[in-house]
Structure 1
Amino acid sequence: MRAVASTIDVLVVDDNPIMRAALQGILAADETIRVVGEAGNGREALALAERLRPAITLLDHRMPIADGLSVVDALGRLTAVLVLTSTEEPRIIADMLQRGARGYLVHGEFKPGDLVRAVHEVVGGRGWLSPIAASVAVSMARARSTPQRTDPAYGSLTERELEVMNLLCEGLSNAAIAQQLWLTEKTVKNHLNHIFAKLGVRSRTEAVVRWTR
């Protein structure tokens, strides 16, 4: 029998018991993931997170007593938070990300395997966003184009890398960035690799999320 490496303890938070059961069933397919608790509202989630200290919490937004948005910052001090909800409101998505959520998945926009991978990515210190959440993250980056200059990582980027990063935040593809800056796509890819290394990220989405904080 193959030995299992480190186990990822998960807390599932959703006011729908059927959804909690479904999520547990999906996560059970990965032997390195273990659901250690479940909660039906934000207040219960905080109490369980304080006691169980899970590596990650799957957090719904719309719940009675205390919704996800009201507890995400406090939860984020105890555990990594991956929002898992049907809420697609840009304001809620932006608030969740700004308050410390490391990922945001919308029901219906991901497959079971995506959820398992998202858990691993978020626990590994990276981000994971559904398309709608990624779009909101890009908008956040645009809105904060001036404040972002105070980010400690800002000074480590070259002038050209800053140009590439700003165009990335506008949602441009490598080809579009290359055309805009009169570069080859290979050169753009090299710039992005340098940017990712300096920001401590591994993907375009993670770079945009990192740049908005």
Structure 2
Amino acid sequence: MITVLVVDDNPIVRTALRTYLDAAAGVSVVAEAADGLEALAEARRTAPAVTLLDHRMPRADGLTVLPELARLTAILVLTSDPDPALITQMLRGGARGYLVHGTFTPDDLHRAVEAVAAGQGWLSPAAAAVATATMRARPYPRPRPRHGLTRREQDVLDLLAEGLTNAAIAHRLLLTEKTVKNHLHRAYAKLRVTNRTEALLRWTGRT
């Protein structure tokens, strides 16, 4: 059973989502929240597998609480805002999926919840277009010497270079924080450095 927290300041939307999801196979709504602060409290209380997160809400919006909320539950953003900047920020902040109201069916929502709960991603067409455009606009990284690093160690260092914390790297790569730390320590040894700063300088070619 996939447990779900529904976060939206509109009670009609919350009721509609609860009604559909409670009727869907293998899904159960365990709590609701009307703003970001309530969402954090309910996520801590109920530990849902997936949280459907709106963006524009009183007190604390979705983007504000996303980093902390993503450490507690898998995030599927469900909002009416198709702004490319917001989509990019949400995905970089740890959301595993992004659906824009009016662009998906109830069955799409069910599949998205299942995918996100399984550690996969799910994007509506609008969000997918933004993600693709962002990747195409990003300059192709210059080749770096491998230093004997494994592919996963390189992935961890790449995310470290983007400024992500160990927790955020673990969430992005679907690993535990302990595993991320182990990868980093092995990378330090191969790079012949002793800390994060030295590792970043060596990995990004500045030393």
The TM-score with structure 2 as length reference comes to 0.68
Match of 1:40 among 34, 42, 67: 34
Contact 1:85–1:106 under 8 Å retained in 2? yes
Check if 1:8 corresponds to 2:2. yes
> SS of the counterpart of 1:94?
helix
Distance in 1 separating the partners of 2:129 and 2:80: 16
Task: In structure 2, give the amino acid aligned to 1:21.
Answer: T
The alignment status of 1:49 with 2:51, answered yes or no, reads no
Identity %: 57
User: How far off is 1:148 after superposition?
Assistant: 9.0
Amino acid at match of 1:69: L
Aligned mates of 2:54, 2:71 — CA distance in 1: 17
**Number of equivalent positions:** 152
Amino acid at match of 1:146: Y
Q: Which runs of 4+ in 1 moved over 2 A?
A: 143-156
Given the alignment, which residue of 93, 98, 106 partners 1:99?
93
Q: Can you list the C-alpha shifts for 1:22-56, whole angstroms capped at 9, x where unaligned?
A: 00111122231010000000000001101111000
Three-state SS of the structure 2 residue aligned to 1:12 is strand
Partners of 1:148 and 1:86 lie apart in 2 by 38
Residue 146 of structure 1, aligned match among 140, 146, 151: 140
Take 1:149 and 1:13, find their aligned partners in 2: how far apart are those partners?
A: 42
- The one-letter amino acid paired with 2:24 is D
Q: Runs of 5+ in structure 1 lacking a partner?
A: 1-6, 157-198, 201-213
The aligned counterpart of 2:64 is: 70
- After superposition, give the CA deviation of every residue in 1:44-86 in whole Å (9 maximum; x if it has no partner): 0001101111000000000000000001111110000000000
Q: How far apart, CA to CA, are the structure 1 residues paired with 2:141 and 2:63?
A: 24
Contact 1:148-1:154 at 8 Å conserved across structures? no
What secondary structure sits across from 1:38 in the alignment? strand
Q: Cα–Cα, structure 1 residues 37 and 149, in superposed 2: closer, same or farther, change >3 Å? A: farther
Q: Matched residues in 2 for 1:148 and 1:23: separation? A: 45
| Pairs within 5 Å for 1:130-209 | 130-147=124-141, 152=151
SS in 2 for 1:146: coil
- Which position in structure 2 is the counterpart of 1:24? 18
TM-score, structure 1 as length reference = 0.66
Counterpart residue number, 2:193: none
Whole-angstrom CA distance in 2 between matches of 1:149 and 1:48: 45
Structure 1 Cα separation of the partners of residues 154 and 101 of structure 2: 38
Deviates more, 1:96-105 or 1:26-35: 26-35
Q: Which of these residues, 80, 88, 102, is aligned with residue 74 of structure 2?
A: 80
- Which whole-Å CA distance do the structure 1 matches of 2:37 and 2:13 have between them? 18
SS in structure 2 of the partner of residue 101 of structure 1: coil
Gap regions ≥5 residues in structure 2? 145-149, 156-172, 175-207
1:75–1:118: structure 2 CA closer, same or farther, 3 Å change rule?
same
